[in-house]
Amino acid sequence: DEYAAEPIDQQEIFDHIRDIKDPEHPYSLEDLKVITEDAIEVDDKKSRVRVTFTPTVEHCSMATVIGLCLRVKLIRCLPRRYKVDIRVAPG
């Protein structure tokens, strides 16, 4: 059925966000280990995606910008039925 919703998985989400550049460095968030595939949770049945990222330093002044970049990228790439939740890793 061409109108059936296709499931989305962790790898697909990671592929969408892995190349986002860090605002302060010429490297991607993947290169800097700010995001990892393991820090992505997808509940396709409830249409929810949660990404937890780890800033490069404890008191990163760009954490808000990184979070907004992740959110905007996913909202633009995913079907509208998905709720996107972006979190900063504890500590």
Domains of the chain: 10-88 (3.30.300.130)
Q: How high is the pLDDT of residue 41?
A: 97
* 3 state DSSP class of 70: helix
Q: Is the pLDDT of residue 1 over 70?
A: no
Tens-place pLDDT, residues 53-63 = 999 888 888 99
In tens, the pLDDT along 6-59 reads 789 999 999 999 999 999 889 999 999 999 999 999 999 999 999 999 998 888
- Name the residue among 60, 82, 68, 83 with its Cα closest to residue 17: 68
